[in-house]
Amino acid sequence: MADSNVTITGTLTRDPELRFTQGGRGVATLGVAVNYRFQRNNEWVEEASFFNVTAWSSLGENAAASLTKGMRVVVTGRLQQRSYETQQGEKRSVVEIIADEIGPSLRWATAQVERTTRSDATGGGSQGGGSQGGGNPSGGQPNGGQPSSSRAPDPVYGDEEPF
Protein backbone atom coordinates (compact mmCIF):
# COMPACT_ATOMS: atom_id res chain seq x y z
CA MET A 1 0.00 0.00 0.00
CA ALA A 2 1.35 3.44 -0.92
CA ASP A 3 1.78 6.05 1.78
CA SER A 4 -0.05 9.35 1.57
CA ASN A 5 2.83 11.80 2.01
CA VAL A 6 2.05 15.40 2.88
CA THR A 7 3.94 18.59 3.66
CA ILE A 8 2.25 21.43 5.50
CA THR A 9 3.44 24.84 6.66
CA GLY A 10 1.49 26.41 9.47
CA THR A 11 1.40 27.79 12.99
CA LEU A 12 1.59 25.72 16.16
CA THR A 13 -1.71 26.04 18.01
CA ARG A 14 -0.31 24.71 21.30
CA ASP A 15 3.00 23.74 22.86
CA PRO A 16 4.07 20.23 21.87
CA GLU A 17 3.01 17.67 24.47
CA LEU A 18 5.68 15.05 25.14
CA ARG A 19 4.80 11.68 26.66
CA PHE A 20 6.68 8.41 26.95
CA THR A 21 5.50 4.88 26.25
CA GLN A 22 5.97 2.19 28.89
CA GLY A 23 9.06 1.14 26.94
CA GLY A 24 10.54 4.63 27.28
CA ARG A 25 9.95 5.76 23.67
CA GLY A 26 9.07 9.45 23.38
CA VAL A 27 6.01 10.64 21.46
CA ALA A 28 5.03 14.29 20.99
CA THR A 29 1.68 15.58 19.78
CA LEU A 30 1.34 18.97 18.12
CA GLY A 31 -1.47 21.03 16.69
CA VAL A 32 -0.83 22.95 13.45
CA ALA A 33 -3.14 25.51 11.84
CA VAL A 34 -2.76 26.15 8.11
CA ASN A 35 -4.36 29.36 6.81
CA TYR A 36 -5.54 29.72 3.24
CA ARG A 37 -6.20 33.16 1.80
CA PHE A 38 -7.96 33.60 -1.55
CA GLN A 39 -10.18 36.03 -3.41
CA ARG A 40 -13.87 35.39 -3.87
CA ASN A 41 -16.02 38.04 -5.60
CA ASN A 42 -13.27 40.66 -5.22
CA GLU A 43 -13.05 40.05 -1.45
CA TRP A 44 -10.25 38.33 0.41
CA VAL A 45 -11.42 35.26 2.29
CA GLU A 46 -9.33 33.46 4.87
CA GLU A 47 -9.95 29.88 5.98
CA ALA A 48 -8.02 27.70 8.39
CA SER A 49 -7.48 23.94 8.54
CA PHE A 50 -6.30 22.29 11.75
CA PHE A 51 -4.07 19.20 11.83
CA ASN A 52 -2.97 16.93 14.66
CA VAL A 53 0.64 15.82 14.25
CA THR A 54 2.38 12.93 16.03
CA ALA A 55 6.19 12.74 16.21
CA TRP A 56 7.93 9.67 17.61
CA SER A 57 11.28 9.09 19.34
CA SER A 58 14.02 11.70 19.00
CA LEU A 59 11.98 13.75 16.51
CA GLY A 60 9.24 14.17 19.10
CA GLU A 61 11.68 14.86 21.91
CA ASN A 62 13.56 17.47 19.86
CA ALA A 63 10.31 19.10 18.70
CA ALA A 64 9.05 19.35 22.29
CA ALA A 65 12.36 20.87 23.42
CA SER A 66 12.59 23.34 20.51
CA LEU A 67 9.11 24.48 19.50
CA THR A 68 6.44 26.56 21.24
CA LYS A 69 2.92 27.74 20.50
CA GLY A 70 2.76 30.39 17.79
CA MET A 71 5.87 29.29 15.86
CA ARG A 72 5.62 28.69 12.13
CA VAL A 73 6.68 25.15 11.26
CA VAL A 74 7.09 22.90 8.25
CA VAL A 75 5.90 19.33 8.78
CA THR A 76 6.47 16.43 6.38
CA GLY A 77 4.95 13.05 7.06
CA ARG A 78 2.23 10.61 6.14
CA LEU A 79 -1.49 10.65 6.68
CA GLN A 80 -2.89 8.02 8.99
CA GLN A 81 -6.51 7.34 9.78
CA ARG A 82 -7.51 5.75 13.05
CA SER A 83 -10.87 4.93 14.58
CA TYR A 84 -11.88 5.05 18.21
CA GLU A 85 -14.98 4.88 20.37
CA THR A 86 -16.08 7.67 22.71
CA GLN A 87 -17.16 7.06 26.31
CA GLN A 88 -20.75 7.35 25.06
CA GLY A 89 -20.16 4.47 22.63
CA GLU A 90 -20.04 6.59 19.46
CA LYS A 91 -17.58 5.50 16.80
CA ARG A 92 -15.31 8.27 15.51
CA SER A 93 -12.55 8.50 12.97
CA VAL A 94 -9.66 10.94 12.75
CA VAL A 95 -6.95 11.59 10.17
CA GLU A 96 -3.62 12.79 11.55
CA ILE A 97 -0.09 13.33 10.30
CA ILE A 98 2.67 11.00 11.48
CA ALA A 99 5.72 13.26 11.13
CA ASP A 100 8.93 12.25 9.38
CA GLU A 101 10.46 15.74 9.66
CA ILE A 102 9.57 18.92 11.56
CA GLY A 103 11.38 22.23 11.36
CA PRO A 104 10.87 25.93 11.87
CA SER A 105 9.73 27.97 8.88
CA LEU A 106 12.44 30.47 8.01
CA ARG A 107 10.31 32.74 5.82
CA TRP A 108 9.83 35.33 8.58
CA ALA A 109 12.18 34.06 11.28
CA THR A 110 15.69 32.85 11.92
CA ALA A 111 16.78 29.75 13.81
CA GLN A 112 19.93 28.56 15.47
CA VAL A 113 20.49 24.85 14.90
CA GLU A 114 22.35 22.88 17.54
CA ARG A 115 23.08 19.26 16.87
CA THR A 116 22.06 16.73 19.52
CA THR A 117 24.13 13.73 20.57
CA ARG A 118 23.11 10.63 18.66
CA SER A 119 21.84 7.79 20.82
CA ASP A 120 20.82 5.31 18.12
CA ALA A 121 21.17 4.51 14.42
CA THR A 122 17.95 6.34 13.52
CA GLY A 123 19.76 9.66 13.52
CA GLY A 124 18.29 10.93 16.73
CA GLY A 125 18.59 11.06 20.41
CA SER A 126 18.33 13.94 22.79
CA GLN A 127 20.93 13.00 25.33
CA GLY A 128 22.35 16.47 24.97
CA GLY A 129 19.17 18.15 26.16
CA GLY A 130 17.11 18.65 23.00
CA SER A 131 17.48 22.12 21.52
CA GLN A 132 20.17 22.98 24.04
CA GLY A 133 22.57 20.70 22.18
CA GLY A 134 25.04 18.33 23.71
CA GLY A 135 27.49 21.01 24.76
CA ASN A 136 29.98 19.34 22.47
CA PRO A 137 31.67 21.88 20.20
CA SER A 138 32.46 19.17 17.64
CA GLY A 139 28.81 19.02 16.55
CA GLY A 140 27.77 16.16 18.81
CA GLN A 141 30.48 13.83 17.51
CA PRO A 142 33.09 12.31 19.80
CA ASN A 143 36.76 12.35 18.74
CA GLY A 144 36.76 15.97 17.57
CA GLY A 145 34.02 15.57 14.97
CA GLN A 146 35.32 12.36 13.40
CA PRO A 147 32.78 9.55 12.99
CA SER A 148 33.20 6.80 15.55
CA SER A 149 33.95 3.37 14.12
CA SER A 150 32.15 1.69 17.04
CA ARG A 151 28.85 3.37 16.10
CA ALA A 152 26.58 1.81 13.49
CA PRO A 153 26.42 3.89 10.29
CA ASP A 154 23.31 5.96 9.70
CA PRO A 155 20.86 4.02 7.46
CA VAL A 156 20.49 6.99 5.09
CA TYR A 157 23.86 8.77 5.15
CA GLY A 158 26.24 6.01 6.27
CA ASP A 159 29.24 7.69 7.87
CA GLU A 160 28.67 10.88 5.87
CA GLU A 161 27.40 13.83 7.89
CA PRO A 162 23.96 15.07 6.75
CA PHE A 163 25.05 18.72 7.17
- For the cut 70, the answer to whether the pLDDT of residue 70 exceeds it is yes
What are the tens digits of pLDDT across the range 7-28? 999 999 999 999 999 999 999 9
Residue 131: per-residue pLDDT: 39
Residue 25: per-residue pLDDT: 94
Work out the pLDDT band at 120, boundaries 50, 70, 90: low
- For the cut 80, the answer to whether the pLDDT of residue 44 exceeds it is yes
Residue 104: per-residue pLDDT: 93
Report the share of the chain in percent with pLDDT over 70.
Answer: 71
Distance CA 28, CA 56 (A): 6
DSSP designation for 158 = B
Q: What domains lie within the chain, and their CATH numbers?
A: 5-109 (2.40.50.140), 112-155 (no CATH)
List the beta bridge partners of residue 95. Answer: 81
DSSP designation for 110 = -
Task: Compute the C-alpha angle 155/161/162, nearest 5°.
Answer: 75
Task: Compute the C-alpha angle 15/21/23, nearest 5°.
Answer: 145
CA atoms within 13 A on the CB side of 48: 9
Query: Of 76-90, 112-126, 128-142, which one has max mean pLDDT?
Result: 76-90
Are 57 and 26 in contact by the 8 Å Cβ rule? The answer is yes
Please report, in angstroms and rounded to a whole number, the separation of the first and last CA atoms in the chain: 32
Average pLDDT of the residues in 100-111: 92
Q: Shortest CA distance to 94 belongs to which of 104, 105, 83?
A: 83
